[in-house]
Structure 1
Amino acid sequence: MFQMKSVEMVHWDFWQRLSVPLDAQIVTIIGPNGSGKTTLLDAMRTLLAIKCSGKRDYKRYVRNNKEAFAYLRGVVDNPRRPSGGLYPTPFFPIVSESVTLLCRIKKQGGDWVRHYAILDGDIALEHAEGQAQWLGVHEYRRRLEAAGLTPAVAEVLALEQGDTDKLTEYSPRQLLDLVFQVFGDKDVLDNYQRARDEQRATELELEALGRQEEALQVRVEAMKGRANRYLEWKQLQTGIARLRDEALPVLAYLDAKTAFGKQWGDYRAGYHVLNQARAEHADTLDLVAKLKAAEVSAADARGAAEMVRQAAQDAFMKAKGEHAGVAGQLKERDRLQALAGKEYGADAALLADKLSALRAEADQLKDGLRELKKQRQDSSEHLQALEIGRGRSPEDVRQFKAALDEAGIPHAMLSDIVEVMDSNWQGAVEALLRGYRHVVLLDKESDRREAWKIGEKLRYRHFVVPERAAPPRANKGSLLEVVRFSADAPEWLYRQMNSVTRVENAESGANADGDWITRDGYFRERRGARHIGVPMHEYAFGEAARQSRLLAVRDELKALNVRILAGEERLVAATREAAGLAEYLGGMDAIRQLDSRADEFSALESRKAELEAEIARQGAALAAAGAEKDAADQRHGDARLAHDRVCQREMESLSKYNQKLQEVELARRQLRRLSGELREWAERLSADALAPEHVAALEDEFDTAADAKHQLNYLEEKLQSGDWEQDDSVLALKDKLVEDLTSLDRERQRRQGEVDRSRELTDEARAAYIGKLRATVRVYGQNVKRLGELAGIQVEVELPQLSNDDAVLAQAGLVLKFNFDQKGMMGMNDGEASGGQQVMKSLILLIGLMMDESNPSGFVFIDEPFAHLDIFNIDRVAGFLKATEAQYLITTPNTHNINIFAPSELTLATRKKRPGETWAPPILQTRRRVDGGEQA
């Protein structure tokens, strides 16, 4: 490193122009406080581009003199380095012994700006301005750093006043960093660290590149998906076009041809079945006519039998009447005989009471007979209605029907249109429809408003239904299957009867699903099962119901006749007995009456016998006629049921015939359509399309045209419902992205290889440089030990463990211990050393940094190193400074002991500016001369 020889200042603080020599090993700057000692040091610091002490800067000094410019010129030596090499001198290529350092400070743009220059030789200020090539601060610092003024040395030179002992406050790690900085190893380590940082940054870039590659990979995959969707869309378009334009027409022609042949066969078979249905329907019509004739014949026979029975009944009743009259007259004989045989003189009062009782009994009998005859009249009317095919309805029903007839509303009763085809299930039908027997069905739906109005007025409790529909097809095993409707009925009735299954008993019904009913009316619905059967005499639906009610009414008439005859006999007897008592009481002579009427009574007796024989004969005839009438009724009912069943079969055969006729007509239309399609396909298709090999290939690929149509529909639906890419540019974009991904992957692999190689080389180089670091630390340890020996201080150095590991290097530190006056070892800043000892420690640490065998010179600014020293320690420090090779510029106040001047070869005395003067007085200088003695 170079040393200072002189410094010249122009307009620096309050010095107008001042030149100060510095060509000595130890230069002492002395003066009172505020006289300019630190100002001089800051001038040299500014000349060296080092920061000023404290909070000062160079602008503060150039502002004080109110001048627009300032110059600092310093002359330094340029010694040759013992090792020589590429740079034999600090300021190479300048090889002169002296080098001029120049700093120019002037105002520029309202602010102070400094420029630097390095000149070959000792150039005066007047000539230096013209020769200077001005440098910026950073370039100037770089040149000085190359000459040995490292940032670490610059930091030491910038120590403030009284802070010489600051080095002792450094931690072991900080001290080691300072050593590496001064000896140039810190830059190498920083370069290694920068290389590692760059490697980490590059790794981060590679990670980002990897993420970019992953993102691009995602884009590539997405674009591949889009390209695949485009290719699939294109394939679908091609497949649809092939199916629609190539395969489907040929297959449709082949299917139409096959379907035509099959349809022709089906048409011939259907036509044959139609002929059979026509013949069956004709046979059924003939049977209907025959059974209708049989029904008419049975009806005529029934009418004849009824006339015979009625005649027999009239004759029987007539004989019964005559016999009753004769028997009544003979009872008068018996009464007279009874009176004649009695003794007279009975109590008249008792006979009068008996007569009163007999007359009361006769009145009661008359009332009872009157009621019974009325019932017989009603039953007779009911019987006549049933015999002509009509039943008697309740009063409210008759009133409602009469009101509808009066309003001109055509209607029918539900019971009139229902016929049970299987008498075994009559009871089940009656049970299920019991609540609907008086339902009124309107012929015209438009009459519903008027009909409902009448029903509301008469409070008719049964349904009035305007909506009617044709019977549907009965489910197998349902209750509807055994019922025939002669007219349309409500649709809800069909649904209900069609949903009820016929079962033999409850045990078999338990295995059936839904509602069911037995023959006698045990019914199961959603709410449960119960018996809803109806007695036979209350049947209301169909011929079987009429026959049952007819028999019941006839039985009722027989019973009424028997009761009426018995009542009349009792009435006659009571009347006659009352008359006899009346006559007895009236004083009539019974014996006289018997004598006078003997011939009459004898004739009556003979007539009675004749009448009894006639009654017996007429009764037998009446019984025979009644039996014949019942047989005729039965034959008529059977004929009617047979006719109804055949009518049902006729309707079914007609329906079957119509259905077959429709099927044949439909087949005929299908044949015409298929024939037209065949002609159309044949005209549209070319000979190549119908070539055998082409047809065979299509038949191998598709079974039928329906299969091809299904596949076409599937492809079209897939095309419509899918999210397709329809731009062919996605293929080129996909290829571009794949190429970009490949290039990016190659670039990433290349850079990864470079990073791996760089890391490997950096690790190897730093591992090799660790030896240089160890040598630097050993040299510095030897320097401080040698300096300690010069100062009479024992120094121990604990060398750090250095290895090629970031953590070890980051934690490594240099530990120094000092032993003053054999009092034991103490640390750097452990509080055990005095102020003077701290100064000695700092000087040893500081000067040890300057002891570079390859660059042994250099200079140091030491601001007031003797501030805390006593006379003895001042001498020790002075002797220590003399023993070193470095140049020292030391400041000290003029109040110290004279011993501070002992080591000084050149003493500079600063003086304060006098009041009223513009410029400060010049610096005084005193140089030590050695002529066999020392002079100050």
Structure 2
Amino acid sequence: MFQMKAVEMVHWDFWQRLTVPLDAQIVTIIGPNGSGKTTLLDAMRTLLAIKCSGKRDYKRYVRNNREAFAYLRGVVDNPRRPSGGLYPTPFFPIVSDTVTLLCRIKKQGGDWVRHYAILDGDVALELAEGQAQWLGVQEYRRRLEAAGLTPAVAEVLALEQGDTDKLTEYSPRQLLDLVFQVFGDKDVLDNYQRAREEQRATELELEALTRQEEVLEGRVETMKTRANRHLEWRQLQHSIARLRDEALPVLGYLDGKASVAGLWRGYRSGYHALNRARGEHADTLELVARLKAAEVAADAARGAAESARQAAQDAFMTAKSEHAGVAGQLKERDRLQALAGKEYGADAAALAAQLAGLRDRADTLKDGLRALKQQREDKSQQLEALELGRGRAPDEVRHFRAALDEAGIGHAMLAELVEVTDARWQGAVEALLRPYRHVVLLDDPADRRAAWQLGERQRYRHFIVPERASPPAAKPGSLLEVVRFSAKAPDWLYRQMNSVTRVEDASAGATVDGDWITRDGYFRERRGARHIGVAPHDYAFGEAARQSRLAALREELKRLNVQILADEEQLVAATREAAGLADYLSGMDAIRQLDGRAEEFAALEARKTSLEAEIARLGAVLAEAAAEKAAADTRYGDARLAHDRVCQREQDSLAAYRQQRQEVDGARRQLRRLLAELREGAARLPEGALAPEHIAALEDEFDGAADARHQLNYLEERLGNGEWETDDAVLQLKDKLVDDLAQIDRERRRRQAEVDRSRELTDDARAAYIGKLRATVRAYGQNVRRLGELAGIGVEVELPQLANDDAVLAQAGLVLKFNFDQKGMMGMNDGEASGGQQVMKSLILLIALMMDEANPSGFVFIDEPFAHLDIFNIDRVAGFLKATEAQYLITTPNTHNVNIFAPSELTLATRKKRPGETWAPPILQARRRVEGAEPAP
């Protein structure tokens, strides 16, 4: 390290311009308090870019003189280092013996700014400004540090006034660090530590890089999945395009050909079936015509038989009437004969009572005849209506139908639409449908509201149904199977009749699961079984019902006619008897009347006999005519029933023919359409699509067009429902991420190898450097012990345990113990030493730092080191200060003992600024005379 030779100050504090020599080993600066001792040391500290003492700074000193600039110039030596090497002098490449250090302080931008320069040789201030290459504070400090002024030495040089004993307050660890700093080992250790920290930072970076690699691996896996989804999407697109554009057209064409072939066969068979249906329908039409002619002939024969019967009946009735008249007249003869045979003188009152009774009986007979004739008239009208194909409905039904007709509401009665095709089950059908015989079926469902309003107004008790449907297929064995409907009927009626099974008797019905009915109307439903049969004369459905009612009406008319004839005969007899009694009572002579009317009565008797013979003959004729009429009615009913049945067959055959024709027409249209589609499809197929090997490959892969279409639908559904990557940039992104992952992995491996190698080299280098650290500690211990010997103080040094381990180095410390006046060992700062002894410890510790054999020079600022020393200890300190090779700049107040000047070779005396003067007086100097030496200039 270099030493100070001189310092020049311009506008520093209250010194205008002052040059102070420092070319001595020990320089003592003396003066009263406030005279500028510390100001001089702070000038040298500022020149060396060290912080000033206490809370002062360089700005405080340059502000006092109110000048705009200040200069500090120092002259230092530049000795050659004993070891030589790349830097033989402290200020290399300057190799001169002296070096000028220059500090310029001036205002810049309202603040004081420092600039430094290092010049070769002893350059005067007037010349230095022109030669200087100004440096910043940090660069200047770096140059001084290279010259030996380390930060640790700078810290020692910056000790405040009276703080020379501060080193004793250092802990063993701090003291060891200070030793390593002064001897340059701290920088090496710091470099090692920085290397370790850099290694740890690199390891953290590697960990972050590893985490980044793991994250990137996750992203790569995700991106691979996305890329796979994209590739799968592309494959699906290709498969769908192949199925849609290549496979389906060819397979559809092949299936179309097969369909056309099958359809052609079906069309041919359907066409043959159409011809058969046409022939069957023609045969049915011919049969309908024959049966219609038979029905017309039967109707004509029935009319002729009715005319013959009516003529026979009229003749019979005429003869009967005439016979009745003759018989009545003959009864008068018999009465007269009876009267003639009696004796006269009978009781007149009894005869009068008998006459009154006969007249009452005649009145009763007249009333009865009147009622019977009215019944005969009604029955005759009903018979006439039934013979004309009409039935007589109840009054409420007739009135309601009249109201519907008046309102213009088209309708029909359910009984008019039903025809029983099997007469054996007429009774069963009548029994089940009896509650519905007066159900009204509307032609137009839109008339329901008006019809219901009429039904509500007239309180019509039967159903009014707007909904009508075509009959469904009848279940075998059901009641619907023996019924034909000439028009649409309610759907619920079809269901009910279709759910009832026909059985012969209740025993057979016991084996049936569900509703059933017998021929005569024994009906079983969910509530149980009961008889609901209807008398034949009360039938209401179909031709059989009409024939049954006609027969019942004829029997009723025959009975009424017989009853009327009998009652008329009784009326005539009663009338005549009453007349006879009246005549008898009036006094007429019965014998005289018999004689007077004998010829009349004989003629009447003869006429009666002839009339009885005629009546017998006419009765036989009438019976034969009635039988013939009944037979004609039966033949007409059978012909009409046969015609109705064959009409149903004709309708069925016509429906079958039309259905078959529709099927044939539809098959023909479909065949034409398929042929056109085949031609168009074949035209659209690419060349070679129908090659045998291509078709064989498609048939091996697919079962047909349906299979291909199923696969196409599956793929399209999968494509539509899946979450796909449709952007092909995902493949490039995946490749980029894979490359990035590979690069990161290579970079991590490379840096890991570098970190491992650096850790190995650092550990090896620091392990090798541990020996240097031990040597440094031993050398410092030797210096301390030697200085202790010079000061008469026993010093014990406990060397630290140094090893190549961070924990050991971090805990290592230098432990020193001192023995003053053989009083026993004491520690660095254990409170047992006096103030003077603490100063002696600090000086030993401080000066030992400057006793480096490799760097023996250097200087030290010691501010008032003798403040707590007695005369004996001052001499001690002066003795071992001289024993060292370092330069010491010592301050002391002028009140101390003169022994303080004993070690001093150069004494500088500072003086206070006099009141009223601008500048302080210059510093006085006194140099120790050395015998044989030339006096200083």
> What is the TM-score when the length of structure 2 is the normalising length?
0.73
User: What is the root-mean-square deviation in Å for CA atoms of aligned residues?
Assistant: 6.5
Following superposition, the deviation at residue 401 of structure 1 comes to: 1.9
- Give runs of aligned pairs for residues 250-399 of structure 1, distance below 5 A: 261-293=261-293, 295=295, 381-382=381-382, 385-386=385-386, 388-399=388-399
Indicate the SS of the match to 2:72: strand
Q: 1:916 to 1:666 in 2, by over 3 A?
A: same
Aligned partners of 1:479 and 1:498 also within 8 Å:
no
Q: Deviations over 1:152-187 (max 9, x none)?
A: 333343344455555566666655555554442223
Residue aligning to 1:776: 773
Residue aligning to 1:439: 440
Aligned partners of 1:420 and 1:429 also within 8 Å:
no
Q: 1:881 to 1:664 in 2, by over 3 A?
A: same
Aligned partners of 1:203 and 1:755 also within 8 Å:
no
Q: 1:466 to 1:741 in 2, by over 3 A?
A: closer
Following superposition, the deviation at residue 215 of structure 1 comes to: 5.0
Residue aligning to 1:916: 916
Aligned partners of 2:233 and 2:724 also within 8 Å:
yes
CA–CA distance in 2 between the matches of 1:898 and 1:561? 192
- Give runs of aligned pairs for residues 493-504 of structure 1, distance below 5 A: 493-494=490-491, 497=494, 501-502=498-499, 504=501
Matched, 1:193 2:178: no
Aligned partners of 1:217 and 1:741 also within 8 Å:
no
CA–CA distance in 2 between the matches of 1:66 and 1:225? 83
Residue aligning to 2:752: 756
- Give runs of aligned pairs for residues 835-874 of structure 1, distance below 5 A: 846-847=846-847, 849-864=849-864
AA aligned to 2:752 is: D
Q: 1:73 to 1:303 in 2, by over 3 A?
A: same
Matched, 1:765 2:761: yes
Following superposition, the deviation at residue 752 of structure 1 comes to: 2.0
Following superposition, the deviation at residue 95 of structure 1 comes to: 3.8
| Gap runs ≥5 in structure 1 | none
Matched, 1:812 2:811: yes
Residue aligning to 2:104: 104
Residue aligning to 1:149: 149
Q: Deviations over 1:495-549 (max 9, x none)?
A: 7735985254999999999x98877798999xx9999978578765444555677
Aligned partners of 2:20 and 2:923 also within 8 Å:
yes
Indicate the SS of the match to 2:748: helix
Following superposition, the deviation at residue 16 of structure 1 comes to: 1.5
Q: Deviations over 1:814-853 (max 9, x none)?
A: 3646566688887777777776666566556555554544
AA aligned to 1:438 is: V
Aligned partners of 2:227 and 2:725 also within 8 Å:
no
Aligned partners of 1:9 and 1:17 also within 8 Å:
yes
Aligned partners of 1:429 and 1:479 also within 8 Å:
no
Identity value in percent: 61
AA aligned to 1:75 is: V
- Give runs of aligned pairs for residues 593-612 of structure 1, distance below 5 A: none
Aligned partners of 1:233 and 1:726 also within 8 Å:
no
Following superposition, the deviation at residue 648 of structure 1 comes to: 2.2
**Farther-moved stretch of structure 1 (888-897 vs 183-192):** 888-897
Q: 1:691 to 1:662 in 2, by over 3 A?
A: same
**Farther-moved stretch of structure 1 (497-506 vs 126-135):** 497-506
- Give runs of aligned pairs for residues 793-812 of structure 1, distance below 5 A: 797=798, 799=800, 802-804=803-805, 808=807, 812=811
Aligned partners of 1:181 and 1:187 also within 8 Å:
no
Aligned partners of 2:209 and 2:748 also within 8 Å:
no
CA–CA distance in 2 between the matches of 1:830 and 1:631? 162
Q: 1:691 to 1:118 in 2, by over 3 A?
A: closer
Indicate the SS of the match to 1:767: helix
Aligned partners of 2:180 and 2:776 also within 8 Å:
no
Q: 1:175 to 1:288 in 2, by over 3 A?
A: farther
AA aligned to 1:439 is: V
Q: Deviations over 1:569-595 (max 9, x none)?
A: 999999999x99xx9xx9x99xx9999
AA aligned to 1:105 is: I
Aligned partners of 2:301 and 2:632 also within 8 Å:
yes
Q: 1:611 to 1:169 in 2, by over 3 A?
A: farther
Q: 1:696 to 1:761 in 2, by over 3 A?
A: closer
Following superposition, the deviation at residue 41 of structure 1 comes to: 2.6
Residue aligning to 1:486: 486
AA aligned to 2:204 is: R
CA–CA distance in 2 between the matches of 1:638 and 1:29? 168
Q: Deviations over 1:870-909 (max 9, x none)?
A: 7787777666756655444444555666666666554444
Indicate the SS of the match to 2:115: strand
Q: 1:401 to 1:238 in 2, by over 3 A?
A: closer
| Gap runs ≥5 in structure 2 | 933-937
CA–CA distance in 1 between the matches of 2:691 and 2:818? 119
Q: Deviations over 1:6-55 (max 9, x none)?
A: 32222222221222333444444444444333332322222222233344
Q: 1:826 to 1:532 in 2, by over 3 A?
A: farther
Aligned partners of 1:216 and 1:737 also within 8 Å:
no
CA–CA distance in 2 between the matches of 1:365 and 1:842? 177
Following superposition, the deviation at residue 695 of structure 1 comes to: 6.0
AA aligned to 2:49 is: A
Aligned partners of 1:305 and 1:625 also within 8 Å:
yes
Following superposition, the deviation at residue 910 of structure 1 comes to: 3.0
Following superposition, the deviation at residue 719 of structure 1 comes to: 9.1
Following superposition, the deviation at residue 715 of structure 1 comes to: 8.3
Following superposition, the deviation at residue 919 of structure 1 comes to: 1.6
Q: Deviations over 1:366-420 (max 9, x none)?
A: 9999889877866665565455443333434322322343455554223322335
Following superposition, the deviation at residue 762 of structure 1 comes to: 2.1
**Farther-moved stretch of structure 1 (161-170 vs 187-196):** 161-170
Aligned partners of 1:909 and 1:925 also within 8 Å:
yes
**Farther-moved stretch of structure 1 (835-844 vs 75-84):** 835-844
Indicate the SS of the match to 1:399: helix
Indicate the SS of the match to 1:105: strand
CA–CA distance in 2 between the matches of 1:529 and 1:870? 146
Q: 1:570 to 1:49 in 2, by over 3 A?
A: farther
AA aligned to 1:812 is: Q
Aligned partners of 2:415 and 2:540 also within 8 Å:
yes
- Give runs of aligned pairs for residues 288-687 of structure 1, distance below 5 A: 288-293=288-293, 295=295, 381-382=381-382, 385-386=385-386, 388-406=388-406, 410-421=410-421, 424=425, 431=432, 434=435, 437-442=438-443, 458=458, 471=470, 473-474=472-473, 483-487=483-487, 489=488, 493-494=490-491, 497=494, 501-502=498-499, 504=501, 540-543=540-543, 546=546, 640-669=640-669
CA–CA distance in 2 between the matches of 1:308 and 1:823? 184
Aligned partners of 1:175 and 1:813 also within 8 Å:
no
Aligned partners of 1:6 and 1:19 also within 8 Å:
yes
Q: 1:852 to 1:499 in 2, by over 3 A?
A: farther
CA–CA distance in 1 between the matches of 2:176 and 2:910? 38
Residue aligning to 1:48: 48
**Farther-moved stretch of structure 1 (270-279 vs 292-301):** 292-301
Aligned partners of 1:763 and 1:804 also within 8 Å:
no
Indicate the SS of the match to 2:912: coil
CA–CA distance in 2 between the matches of 1:764 and 1:775? 19
Indicate the SS of the match to 1:112: strand
Q: Deviations over 1:345-365 (max 9, x none)?
A: x9xxxx99xx99999999999
Residue aligning to 2:935: none
CA–CA distance in 1 between the matches of 2:366 and 2:530? 43
Following superposition, the deviation at residue 128 of structure 1 comes to: 3.3
Residue aligning to 1:120: 120
Indicate the SS of the match to 2:777: helix
AA aligned to 1:474 is: A
AA aligned to 1:748 is: I
AA aligned to 2:19 is: S
